[in-house]
Amino acid sequence: MKFACLVYIDDKKQDALSEADLAAIVTECEAATAWKAELEKGGHYVFSAGLQSVRTASTVRKKGGTASVTDGPFAETKEFLGGFTIIDAKDVDEAMQLVRKLQTRMLTVEVRPVMEPDAELTDPSDRIIRDAITRNRGR
């Protein structure tokens, strides 16, 4: 079963980072690199990527059949998505154990199952949507 580990970073103004801020970021990156190596060694690593600054983001919204593009993320938040890692684990308990091994002080990691065709779906809404899609494909 695959899990997306979404890494959120506190929204600090990156133009005004002190040497201490930069040192803390480097420490976090080193911890993430060590965690990735441990995941690879255990056969749990699938893929990961960091994302460029939130200032490089654009958001596309569709309303009434018309797409509009705005600069930046879709919402003002205190944290922003900084990257992600896809891991392979037997279940959510193992996924949580693997994520707990990431030695970090600044990051928040959201763990969410990937919706794979044969995945066990624990949320009723996900099951309803998958069943509707499956019925629609059978037409």
What's the domain range around 43?
A: 2-114
Does residue 67 form part of some domain?
Answer: yes
Q: What is the pLDDT of residue 77?
A: 67
Is residue 138 over pLDDT 80? no
State yes or no: pLDDT of 76 exceeds 80.
Answer: no
Is 66 inside a domain boundary? yes
125 belongs to a structural domain: no
pLDDT in tens, 4-15: 999 988 766 566
Q: pLDDT of 15-37, one tens digit each?
A: 677 888 888 888 888 999 999 99
* pTM score, whole prediction: 0.81
Q: How far is 54 from 5, CA to CA, in rounded Å?
A: 18
CATH label of the domain that carries residue 47: 3.30.70.1060
Determine the Cα–Cα distance for residues 104 and 98; give it in Å rounded to an integer.
13
Task: Give the three-class secondary structure for 111.
Answer: strand
pLDDT, mean over the chain: 87
Residue whose tokens read 């705005």: 70
Lowest mean pLDDT among 72-76, 88-92, 121-125: 72-76
At 34, is the secondary structure helix, strand, or coil? helix
The answer to whether 86 touches 47, Cβ cutoff 8 Å, is yes
The tally of domains found in the chain comes to 1
What pLDDT, on the 0 to 100 scale, is given for residue 120?
80
Ramachandran bin of 64, using left for φ above 0, alpha for ψ from -120 to 50, beta for the remaining angles: left
124 in any annotated domain: no
Q: What share of the chain is helix, strand, coil (3-state, %, to 5)?
A: 35, 30, 30
Tens of pLDDT, residue by residue over 86-114, are 999 999 999 999 999 998 877 889 999 99
